[in-house]
């Protein structure tokens, strides 16, 4: 069954994350494994891993997800930036394997000075390089973008090209963000998911970022809002619960913690409503 969760902090150590998730009534959680601002990652020693899973067991949690840092750019014109991004993503997959994460989620990046077609090809090559020779248990998910500026990965067709280029069983699929899709001009309705199914396949969506949007359809700005409080609206989120493929994946809300517990409550109600 779908589990409803949120993103939690790892301040003081990743083994603090399960307790924070439990305190918010989150049924699983997403977190960083390192600072999203940069710097070397904290070591995942045997002691930390044991402590982490002791906390997971204590709070009856059986899986979790890692979001890679936001500063990577797999489509960069700068080869040093691109290679460094590949290194960080590979490290996150290996760290995910060590600590038992299900997936690592990455943002694809920006074209900047390049044309989008070239940037998409670079991103596909980068994802292929991330996964070349990798044999860990944690898998990679590509997240669709809001499409601001020259950021790629907002159009379903772009994501399909990148996935095809990567061509690896360790590319688990897609993390679909509702706010990002809405910002890119896709309504959160059955028609959009039929289009996604034709281009990529709904079975490729392995995780949902369920966020409302502060801005209108197609404005290409990534501004998360609380569930039902934004321009997407609660009825659109009810659509998610009626799509059979989405009954098999977990939903995470990435809203501000002032009301995230209420967002979790709303999403649980939507999930549990009899159809």
Q: What is the pLDDT of residues 162-197, one digit of tens each?
A: 999 988 999 999 999 999 999 999 999 999 999 999
pTM of the model: 0.96
Cα within 13 Å of Cα(69), Cβ side: 21
Both tokens assigned to 238 = 């009810």
Taking the CA atoms of residue 114, residue 35, residue 63 and residue 142 in that order, the dihedral angle to the nearest 10 degrees is 0
Q: What is the pLDDT of residues 4-15, one digit of tens each?
A: 999 999 999 999
180's CB contacts (< 8 A; 6+ apart) are 143, 144, 145, 146, 147, 154, 209, 222
- Rounded Cα distance, 82 and 87, in Å: 9
Cβ(200)–Cβ(245) under 8 Å?
no
Name which of 184, 244, 233, 185 is nearest 210 in CA terms.
233
- The reply to whether CATH 3.20.20.150 applies to domain 4-272 is yes
pLDDT beyond 70 at 275: no
Helix, strand, coil percent values for the chain (each to nearest 5):
40, 15, 45
- Rounded Cα distance, 104 and 143, in Å: 10
Average pLDDT estimate for 109-113: 86
Both tokens assigned to 212 = 């409302």
Name which of 89, 83, 64 is nearest 8 in CA terms.
64
Query: Does an H or E element contain 29, and which?
Result: strand 29-31
Q: What is the pLDDT of residues 73-87, one digit of tens each?
A: 999 999 999 999 999
Measure the N-to-C terminal CA separation of the chain; round to a whole number of Å.
Answer: 15
Cβ(103)–Cβ(207) under 8 Å?
yes
- Rounded Cα distance, 196 and 156, in Å: 7
- Rounded Cα distance, 124 and 26, in Å: 34
pLDDT beyond 90 at 149: no
Confidence of residue 220 (pLDDT cuts 50, 70, 90): very high
Tell the burial category of 134 from Cβ atoms under 10 Å away from its Cβ (0-12, 13-18, 19+). Answer: middle
- Rounded Cα distance, 12 and 17, in Å: 9
Residues in the chain: 275
Confidence of residue 60 (pLDDT cuts 50, 70, 90): very high
pLDDT beyond 90 at 39: no
Both tokens assigned to 166 = 């990567």
* Sequence spans of domains, the chain: 4-272
- Rounded Cα distance, 82 and 80, in Å: 5
- Rounded Cα distance, 39 and 21, in Å: 25
Both tokens assigned to 79 = 């080869």
Both tokens assigned to 30 = 């997403």
């Amino acid at each position: 069954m779908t589990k409803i969760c949120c993103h939690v902090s790892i301040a003081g150590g990743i083994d603090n994350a399960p307790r924070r998730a439990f305190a918010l009534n989150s049924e699983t959680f997403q977190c960083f494994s390192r600072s999203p601002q940069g710097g070397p990652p904290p070591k995942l020693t045997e002691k930390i891993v044991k402590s982490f899973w002791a906390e997971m067991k204590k709070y009856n949690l059986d899986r979790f997800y890692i979001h890679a840092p936001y500063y990577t750019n797999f489509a960069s014109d700068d080869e040093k930036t691109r290679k460094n991004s590949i290194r960080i993503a590979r490290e996150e997959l290996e760290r995910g394997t060590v600590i038992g994460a299900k997936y690592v989620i990455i943002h694809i990046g920006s074209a900047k000075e390049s044309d989008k077609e070239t940037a998409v090809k670079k991103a596909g090559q980068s994802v292929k390089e991330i996964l070349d020779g990798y044999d860990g248990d944690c898998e990679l998910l590509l997240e669709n973008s809001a499409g601001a500026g020259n950021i790629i990965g907002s159009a379903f067709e772009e994501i399909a090209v990148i996935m095809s280029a990567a061509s690896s069983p360790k590319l688990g699929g897609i993390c679909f963000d509702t706010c990002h899709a809405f910002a890119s001009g896709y309504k959160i309705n059955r028609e959009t998911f039929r289009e996604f199914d034709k281009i990529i396949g709904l079975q490729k969506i392995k995780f949902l970022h369920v966020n409302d949007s502060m801005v209108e359809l197609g404005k290409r700005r990534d501004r998360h809002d609380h569930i039902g409080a934004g321009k997407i609206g609660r009825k659109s989120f009810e659509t998610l619960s009626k799509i059979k493929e989405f009954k098999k994946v977990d939903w995470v809300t990435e809203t501000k913690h002032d009301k995230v517990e209420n967002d979790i409550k709303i999403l649980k109600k939507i999930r549990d409503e009899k159809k």
